């Protein structure tokens, strides 16, 4: 999650961002709330962290199709990552 993604997610009237300046569809400047943007970034930081540690989708699907012990081990890996990097709830 980067700052631009967070601005777009938290300020629906923003159409374009250049540097730290945001503009609406008509090119008018839009003032965005830095605290809201940072809170959104902080609340979604777990996503990138989890993604970097998850087994590949191919490995997950392979374990699912194999079933049995392979599926159980994969589920344990995924659940351990979810516990280590939980969603932030506010």
60/80 Cα distance (integer angstroms): 14
Regarding whether 49 and 28 lie in a shared domain, the answer is no
Q: What is the reported pLDDT for 48?
A: 83
Structural domain includes residue 39: no
Structural domains in the chain (count): 2
Query: Tokens in use for 21?
Result: 């300046």
pLDDT of residue 90: 59
Non-local CB neighbours of 8 within 8 Å, separated by 6+ positions: 14, 17
pTM as predicted: 0.62
**Sites in the chain below the pLDDT cut of 70:** 90
One domain, residues 28 and 64:
no
- Give a yes or no: residue 4 inside a domain: yes
Q: What is the pLDDT of residue 84?
A: 92
Cα-based angle 69, 70, 76 (whole degrees, multiple of 5): 85
DSSP type of residue 85: S
């Amino acid at each position: 999650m980067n700052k631009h993604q967070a601005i777009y997610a938290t300020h629906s009237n923003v159409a374009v961002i250049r540097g730290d300046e945001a503009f609406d569809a008509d090119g008018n400047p839009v003032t965005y709330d830095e605290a809201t943007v940072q809170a959104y970034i902080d609340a979604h930081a777990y996503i990138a962290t989890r993604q970097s540690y998850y087994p590949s989708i191919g490995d997950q699907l392979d374990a699912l199709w194999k079933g049995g012990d392979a599926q159980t081990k994969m589920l344990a890996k995924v659940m351990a990552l979810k516990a280590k990097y939980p969603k932030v709830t506010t």
